Amino acid sequence: MKRKLWIGVLMVVIAGSSAWAAMGGGDISFPVPGMATVVFSHDDHAGKAKLKCSECHYQIYTDHAQHKAVGMDGMWQGKSCGACHNGTRSFSVKSKQHCGRCHK
């Protein structure tokens, strides 16, 4: 009986951790000198866009502590967010009409 109980508890923990992993992370703010702060939403990317964590981690983006700042010029060259926000896969970082989607 105890074994069945522990198996049930383990299954709940595994299921819960998988759901959190897909949606974890929350919002991340990147201060930009002279401009509005960039706010990255994990919910928009992992939830609404249904991206897998591995699509960004650990090739394009490592983690907040290790991330090197990439300016707009770098993004226009396909670095950081510009790898996907190129006008083909998602809205382009080159278009000024989209500035407010990231800089909030």
Alpha-carbon distance of 26 to 33, in angstroms, equals 23
What's the average model confidence in pLDDT over 66-70? 78
Q: Indicate the pTM of the whole model.
A: 0.69
The domain 2-102 belongs to what CATH superfamily? Answer: Cytochrome C3 (3.90.10.10)
pLDDT, tens digit, 9 for 90 and up, residues 1-57: 655 444 544 454 444 444 444 456 899 998 999 999 999 999 999 999 999 999 988
Mean pLDDT, residues 92-103: 95
